[in-house]
Amino acid sequence: MIPAAFDYIAPQTLDEAVRALASHGEDAKLLAGGHSLLPLIKLRLANPKLLIDLARISTLNGISEQDGKIVIGALTTHYQIESAELLKKKCPLLPETAGEIGDVQVRNRGTIGGSLTHADPAADWPAAILALGGELKLRGPKGERTLGAEEFFLGPMTTAIEPNEILTEIRVPISSRRSGSAYHKMAQQASGFAIVGVAVSVSLDAKGSCEEIGIGVTGLSDKAFRAHAVEDRLRGRKLNAKLIEESAALAADGIEPLEDLHANAQFRAHLARVYAARAIKEAVKRAGGSRR
């Protein structure tokens, strides 16, 4: 666990960081909480020549409400999100998901932006951000652009972010009054990552039918994804247990499940269906809809 030599800078502003990244290109790596990057460097699986530490850029850290949306700086830690009163009221899926990540030490250091850009196919955040229909704001030498969560995740450890771009913030809609959410996960015992995790955000109309639903699935395939087939069967309909179970049975359709030491493809697909049903039921219940 001894890294190779590298240089280190800690810019004070986002502009400085963007310039440093642009001038060093692929040789540079951005350092946020360091919980994914540092182990890779220590194992020499990543050998950046320069680390650009974002910790001193205060504008990247914080949780606020802007124009009807929740805005979270990329450097906000999991613990900040887990404990934010604003989020518990206005977007409870985020604190619930944060509480499922790793352990206390990890949550104290790890950041939402670091996790999203690392794009581990078993990470927790992608499921929640996909379910919420979140947006990711990127900043590069040519300015800013915003991507939807579904455009962002491309594959294992691969996102749509360009080598010269920095993820600056994550925006998610504020949950409406008749909405509910839930995150259900089977954690891998050793790493705490999801064998399968399903995040659900649902809103009901005045009659109690499903107005909108987002279902993010992580751990099942080589990237987190939105379970459209399940969502489509539920949207606009009264959500009873039978319909939820029938729909959740589609959660792994068309997906090639991952296989590893901890779970084979068949088990992962099964878990995705089970946890999808459970998460949907719980989200509906929390939205004030009937369970059965």
Least Å from the CB of residue 108 to other proteins: 17
Least Å from the CB of residue 253 to other proteins: 19
Q: Is 105 in the site for other proteins (CB under 8 A)?
A: no
DSSP states along 166-232? EEEEEEEEPP-TTEEEEEEEEEPTTT--EEEEEEEEEEE-TTSBEEEEEEEEESSSSS-EE-HHHHH
Structure tokens at 164: 């010269």
β-strand pairing of 50-53 with 28-31: parallel
Site map (CB under 8 A) of other proteins, residues 163-202, x = contact: -----------------------x-xxxx---x-------
Q: Is 264 in the site for other proteins (CB under 8 A)?
A: yes
Stretch that binds other proteins, among 63-71, 171-179, 203-211, 261-269 (CB under 8 A): 261-269
Residues 26-45 close enough to bind other proteins by CB under 8 A: 43-44
Distances in whole angstroms, Cα of residue 212 to Cα of each of 95, 105, 107: 21, 35, 30
**C-alpha closest to that of 21 among 44, 58, 53, 56:** 53
Q: Are 207 and 220 in contact (CB under 8 A)?
A: no
Stretch that binds other proteins, among 1-9, 70-78, 91-99, 154-162 (CB under 8 A): 1-9
Q: Is 271 in the site for other proteins (CB under 8 A)?
A: yes
Nearer to other proteins, 152 or 193 (CB): 193
Nearer to other proteins, 4 or 154 (CB): 4
One-letter identity of residue 22: A
DSSP 124: S
| Residues of this chain that bind other proteins (CB under 8 A) | 1-2, 4-5, 43-44, 186, 188-191, 195, 261-264, 267, 270-271, 274
